[in-house]
Chain A
Amino acid sequence: MQVNENKDFEPVIVAFCCNWCSYAGADLSGTNRLNYPTNVKIIRVPCSCRVNPMFILRAFQRGADGVIMCGCHPGDCHYTSGNYFARRRMTLLFSMLDYLGIERNRTRVEWVSAAEGAKFAETMESFTADIKKLGPNRRLEDLRCRKQ
């Protein structure tokens, strides 16, 4: 991997967070002043089951370098079953992206509860580090959307 090239690389990372657990967990890491990289930008969705594979591809198309989806822990979904469906969808989607040769660490699912502010910050820290290691998203992007 071209680690040296990526020294000044600041990846764009999109995090989809469910309103009830993970978005609250992200708020908690703020309340506790737990630092994580500014690269991560959060999009609030009602539930992880609202995340359409289309959104993830769209993010990559427009130049995201990594996409992470966070939801309530299995069994704790506010809507009881949403994250179970999300888990299957994301597992299959990620497997397909991997099969197409997209670097597998560009996508991740993490279950973060409203009480896990520290876990949220750690997760974002480690995910950003992974993406920095991988370098810019080149395999799944729309060249027309590339920043000049």
Chain B
Amino acid sequence: MQRIGVFVCHCGTNIAATVDVKAVAEALGHEAGVVISQDYQYMCSESGQNLVKDAIKEHNLSGVVICSCSPRMHENTFRKAAAAAGLNPYMVEIANIREQCSWIHKDIATATEKAVILGRAAIAKVHLNAPLTAGESPVVKRALVIGGGIAGIQTALDIAEAGFDVDIVEKSPTIGGKMAQIDKTFPTLDCAACILTPKMVEASQNEKIHIHSYSEVSDVKGFVGNFSVTIKKKARFVDELKCTGCGLCTEKCPMKKVPNDFNLGLDNKTAIYIPFAQAVPKVATIDPEYCIMKKTGKCGLCSKVCSAGAIDYNQEDKFVEEKYGAIVVATGFNPIKLDKYDEFAYNQCADVVTSLELERLMNAAGPNGGTLLRPSDKTHPHKIVFVQCVGSRCDDSKGKPYCSKICCMYTAKHAMLIREKYPDTEVYVFYIDVRTPGKNFDEFYRRAVEQYNVHYIKGMVGKVTPKADGKIDVQASDLLSNEQLHIDADMVVLAAAIEPDKTARPLATMLTTQMDTNDFFTEAHPKLRPVESATAGIFLSGACQGPKDIPETVAQASAAAAKAIGLLCKNSITCNPCVAHADELMCNGCSSCEKVCPYGAITYQDKEFRMPNRTIAVRRVASVNPAVCQGCGACTVACPSGAMDLNGFSNKQIMAEVDAICK
């Protein structure tokens, strides 16, 4: 039997005006297990707290019930007071007789009656309270950033700046991501490479940053503060440490017909390649699918010309395991495939391109050296039609239901750049809406219309038909004038919707983070915790969380870094002791609890159990990681055998409260 002390607060007149506090103290004093029941004017005051502390010592109390304001207000105050008096802080319960009684009721008799019932419920609960100890778990002072685009680079730089080691895992041979492929950035029209490449160099030179390029995360174990991650370093058949990036091998390689993915297949590269001049790390990579040596065993030209002796045709995938305290996801986006959009003739006509392809076509480092030429016949286009929302804001299964957010602005940018450089080229933009929220964004778009005379037409393009003379017939409707239009275009540019990278979903499974139906990572709270995932220790950076432009991406990247730094600064994390735990003797190992756990806190193991007839049986049982569990209790209800229970809100405690209220 517990020895319980009850303390009824007047809260000046806040409670005492409508609740007869003396009568409440008197009534609760008669409850089983209550050894002292007192009332006091301000229980939360210094002297009120001393009253509680003295009573704990004097009466050797094992439990305390405070009838006062909401536990959301002073639960911590009284827990601390109890702890100071040597009582476990989790032996304190609050009966909320202010916000949920005196303040909402006017009749003293019924309010007093209710206050007594609320007090009884708290006493019933305290009877079943058990002392809880908050555990601590150490924090590994190293962060992992998955993805080496501008989001990942920025996050890594910020974390390194704070003095922590940080690893970037990038699946392609170089960091830089989509921004490295872009020509100019809106709304300032500065050159993307000019602002990105210094950051790439900074990342590579920062001794706190370690770049794993051409690598993937293959396994994640552990939890906040203590993740254990296996990184697969794919064989690039070139020794990273020896290669100087001189590029001689790429000049000599006889296999020159490899589609250049950096230029989106608009031109070719060699089988041994460096993606672009400013690549970081500037190390060659062999594509084994095209390499003659890898395929036939005869060639070896690159090996012969490499004075550093960096070529290693027998290199194999390597796995490294590393510990991290925090993980930042920055896996970014891709434009969707346009295979299903036959109406735009993307697959039929070389001169129908996506916006990202146009970026490469206009880029000085692109296939045409920055001169805009039609991919088909390398002539100057004189009439270009842009189609907005290709696959964005779609209700059908072909596209995406969301707005890709960046297309309106980059299309305005493209239109403006073309009109600036080639004033004789006419530019048409078909749009559903032009969405330009953002600093200097609308001004930018208006400049395209007013200053550069870009023809913006509200309406959707119905059909794009390549014609025999090389022109492209664009059939569209102008919704404002309600006219059907035919435009004889030289080029058509499609603003393809963007989607999360394909690697994101398997990664989310490994990280036990949540994703929405579109495969964007879900933030812990859409308003208040936008850069954290619901899984402790996992943070979100950039477009993996939703479509974003560069300034937003960088802002979020720094915010994610700040959150990660906040975690890494701690030597250990205090765990919430009100967590779930499984009674192994009752657990069926059925996995129901695991499926409803939003944090991946539940794992299973095969354990040996002594059975009644002296045999030993191996059973699968659940165990909860208290450092990861947040104490929601979803598992406790999913569990059919009642093996799963929640500290501080146990089945028995809640039912005792129910009983006390209904009595």
Is chain B in direct contact with chain A in the complex (CB below 8 A)? yes
Residue ID in chain B nearest A121 by CB atoms: B104
Is B526's CB within 8 Å of the partner chain A?
yes
With A35-B104, A45-B649, A49-B632 already in contact, the answer to whether A59 and B662 are too (CB < 8 A) is: yes
**Which of B98, B104, B632, B661 touches A82 (beta carbons < 8 Å)?**
B632
With A12-B661, A46-B632, A79-B630 already in contact, the answer to whether A30 and B99 are too (CB < 8 A) is: yes
Chain B hits for A52, CB < 8 A: 636-637, 651, 654
Which residues of B144-201 have CB atoms within 8 Å of chain A's CB atoms?
A: none
Q: In the bound complex, how far is the Cα of B525 from the Cα of A79, in angstroms?
A: 9
Is A118's CB within 8 Å of the partner chain B?
no
- Whether A64 lies near B662 (C-beta < 8 A) is yes
**Which of B72, B103, B598 touches A23 (beta carbons < 8 Å)?**
B72
Is A131's CB within 8 Å of the partner chain B?
no
Is B631's CB within 8 Å of the partner chain A?
yes
Chain B hits for A27, CB < 8 A: 70, 72, 96, 99-100
- Whether B72 lies near A81 (C-beta < 8 A) is no
- Whether B118 lies near A50 (C-beta < 8 A) is no
- Whether A85 lies near B634 (C-beta < 8 A) is yes
**Which of B107, B651, B657 touches A54 (beta carbons < 8 Å)?**
B651
Give the Cβ gap from A81 to chain B, nearest Cβ, in Å. 5
- Whether A81 lies near B598 (C-beta < 8 A) is yes
Chain A hits for B107, CB < 8 A: 38
Which residues of B84-127 have CB atoms within 8 Å of chain A's CB atoms?
A: 96, 98-101, 103-107, 110-111, 113-114, 117-118, 121
Give the Cβ gap from B46 to chain A, nearest Cβ, in Å. 24
Residue tally, chain B, CB below 8 Å to A: 48
- Whether B661 lies near A43 (C-beta < 8 A) is yes
Chain A hits for B655, CB < 8 A: 54-55, 58
**Which of A12, A23, A30, A35 is packed against the most chain B CB atoms within 10 Å?**
A30
Chain A hits for B637, CB < 8 A: 49-53, 85, 89
**Which of A59, A80, A85, A145 touches B638 (beta carbons < 8 Å)?**
A85
- Whether B658 lies near A62 (C-beta < 8 A) is yes
- Whether B114 lies near A41 (C-beta < 8 A) is yes
- Whether A38 lies near B598 (C-beta < 8 A) is no
Instruction: Give the interface residue-count category, chain A.
Output: 35 or more
- Whether B104 lies near A80 (C-beta < 8 A) is no
Chain A hits for B121, CB < 8 A: 41, 43
- Whether B514 lies near A46 (C-beta < 8 A) is no
Chain A hits for B598, CB < 8 A: 79-82
Chain A hits for B70, CB < 8 A: 23, 27, 30
Is B663's CB within 8 Å of the partner chain A?
yes
**Which of A24, A35, A47 is packed against the most chain B CB atoms within 10 Å?**
A47
Give the Cβ gap from A46 to chain B, nearest Cβ, in Å. 5
**Which of A35, A38, A46, A59 touches B658 (beta carbons < 8 Å)?**
A59
With A43-B121, A52-B651, A81-B514 already in contact, the answer to whether A26 and B634 are too (CB < 8 A) is: no
Is B326's CB within 8 Å of the partner chain A?
no
- Whether B634 lies near A50 (C-beta < 8 A) is yes
- Whether A34 lies near B661 (C-beta < 8 A) is no
Q: In the bound complex, how far is the Cα of B101 from the Cα of A74, in angstroms?
A: 28
Q: Mark A118-145, 1 if CB is under 8 A from B, else 0.
A: 0001000000000000000000000001
- Whether B634 lies near A80 (C-beta < 8 A) is no
- Whether B104 lies near A49 (C-beta < 8 A) is no
With A12-B662, A52-B651 already in contact, the answer to whether A42 and B111 are too (CB < 8 A) is: no
Chain B hits for A107, CB < 8 A: none
Chain B hits for A19, CB < 8 A: 72
- Whether B662 lies near A14 (C-beta < 8 A) is yes
- Whether B649 lies near A58 (C-beta < 8 A) is no
With A38-B114, A54-B651 already in contact, the answer to whether A81 and B634 are too (CB < 8 A) is: yes
- Whether B104 lies near A34 (C-beta < 8 A) is yes
With A12-B661, A43-B654, A43-B661 already in contact, the answer to whether A50 and B633 are too (CB < 8 A) is: yes
Chain B hits for A38, CB < 8 A: 101, 105, 107, 110-111, 113-114
Q: In the bound complex, how far is the Cα of B642 from the Cα of A52, in angstroms?
A: 10
Q: In the bound complex, how far is the Cα of B110 from the Cα of A43, in angstroms?
A: 19
- Whether B99 lies near A26 (C-beta < 8 A) is yes
Q: In the bound complex, how far is the Cα of B117 from the Cα of A41, in angstroms?
A: 8
Chain B hits for A58, CB < 8 A: 655, 658-659
Give the Cβ gap from A148 to chain B, nearest Cβ, in Å. 12
Chain A hits for B654, CB < 8 A: 43, 45, 50, 52, 55
Q: Mark A60-77, 1 if CB is under 8 A from B, else 0.
A: 001110000000000110
Q: Mark A72-104, 1 if CB is under 8 A from B, else 0.
A: 000110111110010001000000000000000
Chain B hits for A78, CB < 8 A: 525, 632
- Whether B104 lies near A62 (C-beta < 8 A) is no
Q: In the bound complex, how far is the Cα of B598 from the Cα of A123, in angstroms?
A: 29
Chain B hits for A81, CB < 8 A: 514, 596, 598, 634
Give the Cβ gap from B75 to chain A, nearest Cβ, in Å. 10
**Which of B104, B522, B534 is packed against the most chain A CB atoms within 10 Å?**
B104
Is B646's CB within 8 Å of the partner chain A?
yes
Q: In the bound complex, how far is the Cα of B659 from the Cα of A14, in angstroms?
A: 10
Q: In the bound complex, how far is the Cα of B658 from the Cα of A51, in angstroms?
A: 12
**Which of A42, A50, A81, A85 is packed against the most chain B CB atoms within 10 Å?**
A50
Chain B hits for A43, CB < 8 A: 121, 654, 657-658, 661
Chain B hits for A45, CB < 8 A: 633, 649, 654
Is B578's CB within 8 Å of the partner chain A?
yes
- Whether A35 lies near B106 (C-beta < 8 A) is yes
Chain A hits for B634, CB < 8 A: 47, 49-50, 79, 81-82, 85
Chain B hits for A82, CB < 8 A: 598, 632-634
Q: In the bound complex, how far is the Cα of B117 from the Cα of A76, in angstroms?
A: 31
Chain B hits for A79, CB < 8 A: 534, 598, 630, 632, 634
Q: In the bound complex, how far is the Cα of B499 from the Cα of A22, in angstroms?
A: 36
Chain B hits for A54, CB < 8 A: 651, 655
Further contacts, 18 of them, CB under 8 A, given A54-B651, A76-B525, A80-B524: A12-B661, A24-B72, A26-B99, A27-B70, A38-B111, A44-B71, A44-B96, A46-B631, A46-B633, A49-B637, A50-B632, A50-B636, A51-B637, A62-B663, A63-B662, A79-B598, A79-B634, A85-B596
Show 22 residue pairs from A and B whose CB-CB distance is below 8 angstroms, ordered by the A residue: A29-B99, A30-B99, A30-B101, A31-B103, A35-B106, A38-B101, A38-B105, A41-B117, A43-B658, A43-B661, A45-B649, A46-B633, A46-B649, A47-B632, A49-B632, A50-B654, A76-B525, A80-B524, A80-B534, A81-B514, A81-B598, A81-B634
* Interface of A toward B, CB cutoff 8 Å: 12, 14, 19, 23-24, 26-31, 33-36, 38, 41-47, 49-55, 58-59, 62-64, 75-76, 78-82, 85, 89, 121, 145
> Sorted from nearest, which 6 A-B pairs have the closest CB atoms?
A30-B99, A50-B633, A62-B662, A79-B632, A30-B103, A49-B634
